[in-house]
Structure 1
Amino acid sequence: MTTVAPPYPYLNTNTELINAHKLEKHFEGGYFAQTVLLESSLPSASVSASASASKTESAHVPKSAALGGREQVASGPGAELLQGASSDSVSGSGSASDATSSDKKTDATQIYYLLTPDSYRGRMHMNLHSTFHIHHAGRALYTLIRPPSPSSGESTPSIHRVIVGPNVTQGEVTQLFVPGGWWKASEIPEEDLLLLDAPDAEKAGLKERIGCLISEVVVPGWNPDQHQFIDEDKLKAMWGGNPGWEQYKKYITAPEGLEYPDK
């Protein structure tokens, strides 16, 4: 019997990825870890002009007019790679403690996100902020729903199905941009999961080498206020009471036998 093989190169097992990146179960399904939190603020008025200048200005790094005087500070494991764990700035800027919490803005967040056969589908949700998806390993099918826009005369939503994966010659993409205000759900493709039913799949350790690891960057940064899950009422409303929404009902709850943590 020919040994069954993964449908794509998968350098590390799912267990290795979870351990190496310290991934935890995500309330949407799958696993995640936030790696970068990028915040910006205006220098505090309580800091003297001379102290502020000596702390933030550098003859080697010009100021960006696009930031409007705001200074960015990054934290998290992804930032520590270059800054070190004890550093509190991205490029010599002031620390987050120099600004009041009301002045502080989250400019971007970055996470790892992993789907595995044990958690192979994410619940459909909407981010009001734009999201960038960058492929690392495996592949996932994304179902994207753009709600109808009355101003453009649309009466039904626009549906897009995209595979994030390594085989660009077959139409897979290694980058996926999803605008804010779209519904989104990702899952391991059914044809990949069916390989787990092969007689020698367990012997080949296939369950550890089927999945999808990506990075997600949300701009402005993710927060609970700009995130929502879909439900049956929201699905039906997009079709205006007409049929067509039923096939997406499976994305409302966790697949049978799986549970997701609370949000």
Structure 2
Amino acid sequence: MSSITPPYPYPVSNSDLITSHSLIKHFEGGYFAQTVSIESSLESDNANNNSHVPKSAALEGRVQISAGPGAELLSGIKGSENAPTGGEEKKTDATLIYYLLTPDSYRGRMHMNLHSTFHLHHSGRALYTLIKPPSSSEPSAKPTIHRFVMGPNPSLGEVTQLFVPGGWWKASEIPDEDLLLLDSPSGNEQLRDKMGCLISEVVVPGWNPDQHQFIDEDKLKAMWGGEPGWEQYSKYIKAPEGLEYPDK
């Protein structure tokens, strides 16, 4: 675990980040905006063929279509970069979002994605608690726990990239030691607006509600087989006291 001292390393205020990236409240806690969605399908015609661009064998004849504000940087038009031409068997290959924690929404609810997720740091710091459920083939096994701080300083053990495979429980929060700065003599509203963590998340295949679930007390207890050890993670089941998150 790393430690910090004022001034907090956060170049852009939360209010500016929320405005500039059009972030809205996330049902896990924090704020987010989906910036890119990549879909692919088997094309029914050759409208998207380009003699200057070779075909990828890995796509197996599928054509990818990108949409969202991130895709508009290159296309210069609203919507997808290339309009679909009537394909079939459409799949969401990947999605990209911004995700922001702030002192007013400082902890995310613990959840599991069945798809792999890449986390890319931009600014601030967040503590990630990751729980790998024990194997069903080993009834006496205990879950595997990892905790990492995403932050700008690798010399303190912070990471700027974090890969979480599908099937792990995950929760992120602003570290307690950071929040304590708000109670210090130098703590003020300006510091509150420049404390948090902004990352990007890439989900592969793309995020969808069917591959996402929240933890509850029964699921948490089951990983410890009825023995003690789960209690310290129960704070991730619900929103912190005084906070409410939108419905999923």
- State the TM-score, normalizing by the size of structure 2: 0.94
CA-CA distance at 1:60 after TM superposition: 1.4
1:83, distance to aligned residue in structure 2 (A): 1.1
Tell me, yes or no, if the aligned pair for 1:6 and 1:210 is still in contact at 8 Å: no
- Identity percentage over the alignment? 70
Alignment of 1:1-263 (within 5 A): 5-8=6-9, 10-44=10-44, 47=45, 52=46, 55-86=47-78, 88-89=80-81, 95-100=83-88, 103-151=89-137, 155-202=141-188, 205-263=190-248
Quick check: 1:26–1:32 contact (8 Å CA) kept in 2?
yes
User: TM-score, normalised on structure 1?
Assistant: 0.89
Deviation digits for residues 17-72 of structure 1, max 9, x if unmatched? 0000000000000000000000000012xx4xxxx2xx222221100000000000
Moved over 6 A (4+): none
Secondary structure in structure 1 of the residue aligned to 2:95: strand
Structure 1, 80-89 or 111-120: larger mean CA deviation: 80-89
2:72–2:80 Cα contact (<8 Å) kept:
no
AA at the equivalent of 1:137: S
Query: Per the alignment, in what secondary structure is the counterpart of residue 248 of structure 1?
Result: helix
Partner-residue secondary structure (3-state), 1:56: coil
Whether the 8 Å CA contact 1:133–1:217 is kept in 2: the answer is yes
Provide Cα deviations, 1:74-97, integer angstroms capped at 9, x if missing partner.
0000000011124733xxxx6335
**Greater Cα shift, 207-216 or 77-86:** 77-86
Number of residues paired by the alignment? Answer: 244
Structure 1 stretches of 5 or more lacking a match? Answer: none
In the alignment, is the contact (CA less than 8 A) between 1:6 and 1:209 conserved in 2?
no
Distance 2:202 2:183 in 1: 34
**Higher-Rg member (1/2):** 1
5+ long unaligned stretches in structure 2: none
Q: Secondary structure at the match of 1:37?
A: strand
Once the 2 structures are TM-superposed, how far is the Cα of residue 200 of structure 1 from its aligned partner? 3.0
